[in-house]
Amino acid sequence: MPLPIGDTVGILADNLRIRKSVLPVSAESVSAWAKGLGLPRGGETILYTGRMYQLIPYIEALNKVQEKIEDSWIADFVKVGRVVNRFINVSGLLAVPPKSMRESCSRILANIARLLGQAGIEFGYLYEEDLYSGALVYDLGVDDVLEAHARRVVDVFKKYRVRNIITVDPHTTHMLRSVYPALIKGYNLQVKSYLEILAERDLKPRKELRLEAAIHDSCLYARHENVLQEQRTLLEKAGIDVREPAESGKFTFCCGGPAESLFPRKAKEYAKKRVDQIKKVSFRAVTMCPICLVNLQKAAGGEIQLEDISSYLVQAYCGG
């Protein structure tokens, strides 16, 4: 039996409403990546993670459980789970990610902060007040819960007098740049992805990488936010021979990740198709979205080497 749609959507929406996140992550884990970097709290310009990279290990751990439940008689118990979840954090209890995965996600965020520093950008961070943007609940169409949450997020921006937001992933970029303005009256924050900022600053590489890699565009960057050239310019300048798989750029194929919360098996089947397309042009590939990264990595099973774009950029522009 597939996972019951209504109850699964209900659990995720309840979590956002009650716990400010689809999957509860402790405040400490959210900001662990920034430890020792000395970033000021708040400020006119902030780096906003929207907790996406931090959430990925937890989403992964929960999906493993979901995959086992999907198609088994236990799927029926998700109904009970929703009621219990309102009182006890059931999804948090189920999702215990390995330490190594949490560390690699933290490293990606620290790399992005380093790159921005290298480009001479001054920015602050909101630490435990860096809230989830509500992206998944928006996709699932629970608009009332999303609207209330968006107001909470914007109140934090107001508290710190934020004017410019630097995002690190396509989902948060899309929410803050294209979805929130339609939800919140008078919303006038300037939102840019760190890739756009780095490309604008015309950063000079300190090391030429001399390797080839396939590029996997994110649907949101490519078709919603028009972030297409920036990643190519940055990679090419870093000395990477960028290989385009079949269906790339504006017509990129989805990684399958958006189906993961409700149909994990379908998501994996679809990701395998994308991995096959990538394999044809390179055994190495770069992604720019945490969901693409984890979903394709899972489907590739080591057949190709997938890395977040920031890992290459930091080597080239910060010298390692």
Partner 1 sequence: MALVNPDFVEEVKRSDRFDASACMNCGVCSAVCPMGIELLPRKLFRYVLLGVKDKVLENVETIYSCFLCKLCEVNCPAQVHIAENVRFLRYYMNKKVFKI
Which lies closer to partner 1 via its Cβ, residue 168 or residue 262?
A: 262
CA pair distance 148, 210, nearest whole angstrom = 48
Give the nearer residue to partner 1 in terms of CB position, either 3 or 109: 3
Contacts of 73 (CB under 8 A, 6+ apart): 1
Q: Which is nearer to partner 1, 154 or 220 (CB)?
A: 220
- Applying CB under 8 A, the residues found at the interface with partner 1 are 2, 5-7, 9-10, 13, 138-143, 145, 219, 223-224, 250-251, 253-254, 256, 258-259, 262-263, 266, 270, 273
Q: Give the residue with the Cβ less far from partner 1, 143 or 241.
A: 143
Spell out the alpha helix ranges (H) of the chain.
5-19, 27-31, 52-69, 78-85, 90-94, 99-118, 135-139, 143-159, 170-174, 180-183, 194-200, 219, 229-237, 264-279, 290-300, 309-317
Distance CA 60, CA 294 (A): 8
CB of 5 to partner 1, least distance (A): 5
What's the closest the beta carbon of residue 124 comes to partner 1, in angstroms?
Answer: 32
Tell the smallest beta-carbon distance from residue 109 to partner 1 (Å). Answer: 25
User: Reduced to 3 states, what is the DSSP secondary structure of residue 187?
Assistant: coil
Which residue, 7 or 196, has its beta carbon nearer to partner 1?
A: 7
The nearest distance, CB 172 to partner 1, in angstroms, is 16
Distance of closest approach, residue 69 Cβ to partner 1, in angstroms: 16
In the chain, how many H helices and how many E strands? 16, 8
d(CA 80, CA 10): 11
Closest to partner 1 by CB, 198 or 214? 214
First to last CA, the chain: 48
Q: Quote the least distance from Cβ 264 to partner 1, whole Å.
A: 12
238 token code pair: 């870093």
